């Protein structure tokens, strides 16, 4: 089944969001969130659809072939409810990649069976005492004659109390360092009564339907067959798995901003003030077209990052950290900009616009969870000076082709902890620019500034090239990621076959917004570009089509 078919199926299964009688419509999803529970109807739908198969490689009976397809399919869930997307499935994906990457055939088969049967798998990486500094984790797995003895607590684990299996990051050696941890695949069936306790659920501000609990192990004996990969391989395995999951998660949430934009545009079309529609107020129109351009910019970087895992796996440590840093941040910021148009309504927790408020509460969790924004920049900082000196050849068009076929499966063995190049930013300098004077001027400005940033990176003293660097290094890394996003948008324009994506209008606004964020004070985009973007925004709204790179009909 192609990704297109799966996406269309999910759209049909979810039905009309505005129908008050739809058990997975807007009203029902909001009601579940208000009660702080996962949507029972939403989970039933995903069980029936067999959503768990999306995470299982085809050779193990699932539907996973390429990461950008998984992003598209999961986007349909995130379009409706971030809590359902994260809570139902995505932590199963985060957990399972460790096993697909290094598990034995038996472990892979066992986990595939669990997910294909609708089961869930939780992942316990973090401990509250150590956060992102997970090499300091204290949860232990001590060798015993029959396997391992687990002791310690994993405090914030999604679905811990209802998962059929847990992937745990545990200390197998008391010595400090990167070889002291291992990954274990275990579950409730391995543990004797009383050896593991579920901690009470955490109440949260957003994603209230996620079941965030914890696991407390006391002398819990598990078999030796639980070890995934080799002893001491845990940190390396986690870092490789993070590259896959960080490259995918932000793109899923593009569907959440799509709903925010649709909601606010619908309001702006219907609401009249000063004897005209809100949409006809220049400020409102510019916020809406700007949000559309940001959404396309985010989707461009998300697409490039997901496809890089297949095409440029040696660079995924950089593209994965970049997309995980920037896309959740931009999606949240853009949703905040849109809230201004909705005015007081976005604060109301019932009625037509309440889902917007829920999305606004839920989006920040995508920045916080898995790896915070600062931790993502800290991954980039040690690598950027080397990449500034030698970024390597620019990315091929295949990186930017939505839905373009790829060799199935993730090349886990080619994912490396440090990147061998940065093919993305190379696109900014080496691509043929659109035959459009405004875009050419902007690209010139961006390329010059990229060189300034590269020189500054090369001049950083050794102490400023570590994760413990000062704010100046973090500012440089932040600027660098914006160039990566601009390059991804240029790449998508360059590779586009579709009339709208091949037109420079959206690119002009996306680059303008990037240059503004970089304080380059660019001239505003020409009126004809803004008008083209505005017309496309209205067309997609009128025809109920998605605002992302896929221009997909949402009628089912």
Does residue 372 bind ligand FAD (CB under 6 A)? yes
For residue 212, the minimal CB distance to ligand FAD (Å) is 6
Q: Which residues of 201-212 are buried (b: 16+ CB within 10 A; e: fewer)?
A: eeebebbbbbbb
Q: Which residues have CB under 8 Å from 280's CB, separation 6+?
A: none
Among 102, 150, 157, 443, binds ligand FAD (CB under 6 A): 157
Sign (positive/negative) of CA torsion 338, 488, 301, 476?
Answer: negative
Sign (positive/negative) of CA torsion 21, 24, 27, 32?
Answer: positive
* 17/24 Cα distance (integer angstroms): 7
Does residue 376 bind ligand FAD (CB under 6 A)? no
* 18/110 Cα distance (integer angstroms): 40
Nearer to ligand FAD, 66 or 241 (CB): 241
Q: Which residues have CB under 8 Å from 338's CB, separation 6+?
A: 260, 261, 264, 287, 288, 291, 356
Does residue 185 bind ligand FAD (CB under 6 A)? no
Query: In this chain, which stretch among 7-15, 113-121, 131-139, 497-505 interacts with ligand FAD, using CB under 6 A?
Result: 131-139
* 105/108 Cα distance (integer angstroms): 5
Q: Are 529 and 554 in contact (CB under 8 A)?
A: no
Among 378, 415, 456, 490, binds ligand FAD (CB under 6 A): 378
Using CB under 6 A as the binding rule, the residues of this chain from 451 to 480 that contact ligand FAD are 467
For residue 327, the minimal CB distance to ligand FAD (Å) is 16
For residue 83, the minimal CB distance to ligand FAD (Å) is 9
Q: By three-state DSSP, how is residue 220 classified?
A: strand
Does residue 126 bind ligand FAD (CB under 6 A)? yes
Q: By three-state DSSP, how is residue 59 classified?
A: helix
For residue 244, the minimal CB distance to ligand FAD (Å) is 16
Does residue 158 bind ligand FAD (CB under 6 A)? yes
* 169/441 Cα distance (integer angstroms): 49
Interface mask toward ligand FAD for 62-91; x: CB under 6 A = -----------------------------x
Among 369, 394, 421, 525, binds ligand FAD (CB under 6 A): 369
Does residue 269 bind ligand FAD (CB under 6 A)? no
User: In DSSP terms, which residues pair with 545 in a beta bridge?
Assistant: 553
Query: In this chain, which stretch among 3-11, 116-124, 244-252, 502-510 interacts with ligand FAD, using CB under 6 A?
Result: 116-124
Nearer to ligand FAD, 335 or 378 (CB): 378
Q: Are 41 and 108 in contact (CB under 8 A)?
A: no
Interface mask toward ligand FAD for 18-47; x: CB under 6 A = ------------------------------
- Tallying the residues shown for the chain, one arrives at 556
Nearer to ligand FAD, 245 or 259 (CB): 245
Among 60, 156, 191, 269, binds ligand FAD (CB under 6 A): 156
The CB-side HSE value for 314 (13 A sphere, CA atoms) comes to 8
Interface mask toward ligand FAD for 207-246; x: CB under 6 A = x--x-x----------------------------------
Query: In this chain, which stretch among 26-34, 36-44, 150-158, 304-312 interacts with ligand FAD, using CB under 6 A?
Result: 150-158
Does residue 425 bind ligand FAD (CB under 6 A)? no
Phi, psi of 233 (to 5 degrees): -90, 0
User: In DSSP terms, which residues pair with 217 in a beta bridge?
Assistant: 152, 196
Does residue 533 bind ligand FAD (CB under 6 A)? no
Q: Write the DSSP assignment of 78-147 as a string of letters.
A: HHH-HHHIIIIIIHHHHHHHHHHHH--HHHHHHHHHHHHTT--EEEE---TTTTT-GGG---EEEEETTE
Nearer to ligand FAD, 296 or 457 (CB): 457
Query: In this chain, which stretch among 4-12, 33-41, 367-375, 528-536 interacts with ligand FAD, using CB under 6 A?
Result: 367-375
Residues near ligand FAD (CB under 6 A): 91, 122-126, 131-133, 156-158, 207, 210, 212, 365, 368-372, 374-375, 378, 467
């Amino acid at each position: 089944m192609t990704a297109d078919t799966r996406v269309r199926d999910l759209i049909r299964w979810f039905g009309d969001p505005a129908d008050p009688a739809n058990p997975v419509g807007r009203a029902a999803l909001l009601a579940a969130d208000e009660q702080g529970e996962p949507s029972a109807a939403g989970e039933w739908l995903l069980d029936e659809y067999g959503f768990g198969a999306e995470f299982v490689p085809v050779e193990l009976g699932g539907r996973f072939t390429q990461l950008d397809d998984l992003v598209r399919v999961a986007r349909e869930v995130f379009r409706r409810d971030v809590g359902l997307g994260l809570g139902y499935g995505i932590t199963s994906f985060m957990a399972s990649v460790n096993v697909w990457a290094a598990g034995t055939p038996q472990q892979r088969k066992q986990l595939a069976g669990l997910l294909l049967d609708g089961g869930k798998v939780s992942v316990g990486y973090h401990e509250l005492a150590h956060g992102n500094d997970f090499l300091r984790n204290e949860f232990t797995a001590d060798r015993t004659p029959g396997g391992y003895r687990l002791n310690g607590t994993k405090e914030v684990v999604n679905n811990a109390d209802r998962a059929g299996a847990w992937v745990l990051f545990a200390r197998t050696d008391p010595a400090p360092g990167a070889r002291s941890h291992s990954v274990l695949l275990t579950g409730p069936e391995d543990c004797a009564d009383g050896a593991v306790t579920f901690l009470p659920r955490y109440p949260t501000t957003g994603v209230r339907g996620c079941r965030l609990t914890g696991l407390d192990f006391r002398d819990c004996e598990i078999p030796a067959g639980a070890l995934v990969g080799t002893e001491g391989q845990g940190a390396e395995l986690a870092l490789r798995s993070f590259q896959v999951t960080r490259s995918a998660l932000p793109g899923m949430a593009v569907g959440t901003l799509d709903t925010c934009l649709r909601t606010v545009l619908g309001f702006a079309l219907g609401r009249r003030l000063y004897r005209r529609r809100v949409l006809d107020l220049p400020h409102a129109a510019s916020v809406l077209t700007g949000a559309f351009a940001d959404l396309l910019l985010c989707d461009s970087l998300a697409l490039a990052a997901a496809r890089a895992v297949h095409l440029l796996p040696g660079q995924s440590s950089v593209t994965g950290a970049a997309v995980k840093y920037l896309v959740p941040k931009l999606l949240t910021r853009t949703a905040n900009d849109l809230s201004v148009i909705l005015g007081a309504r976005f604060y109301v927790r019932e009625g037509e616009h309440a889902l917007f408020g829920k999305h606004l509460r839920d989006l920040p969790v995508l920045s916080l969870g898995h790896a915070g924004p600062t931790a993502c920049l800290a991954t980039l900082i040690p690598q950027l000076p080397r990449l500034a000196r030698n970024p390597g050849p620019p990315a091929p068009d295949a990186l930017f082709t939505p839905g373009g076929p790829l060799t199935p499966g993730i090349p886990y063995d080619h994912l490396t902890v440090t990147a061998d190049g940065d093919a993305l930013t190379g696109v900014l300098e080496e691509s043929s620019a659109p035959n459009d004077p405004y875009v050419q001027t902007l690209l010139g400005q961006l390329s010059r500034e990229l060189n300034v940033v590269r020189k500054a990176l090369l001049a950083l003293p050794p102490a400023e090239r570590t994760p413990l660097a000062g704010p100046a290094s973090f500012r440089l890394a932040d600027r660098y990621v914006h160039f990566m996003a601009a390059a991804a948008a240029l790449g998508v324009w360059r590779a586009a076959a579709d009339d709208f994506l091949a037109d420079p209008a959206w690119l002009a606004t996306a680059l303008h917004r990037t240059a503004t964020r970089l304080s380059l004070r660019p001239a505003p985009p020409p009126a004809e570009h803004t008008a083209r973007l505005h017309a496309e925004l209205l067309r997609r709204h009128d025809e109920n089509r998605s605002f992302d790179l896929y221009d997909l009909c949402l009628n089912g």
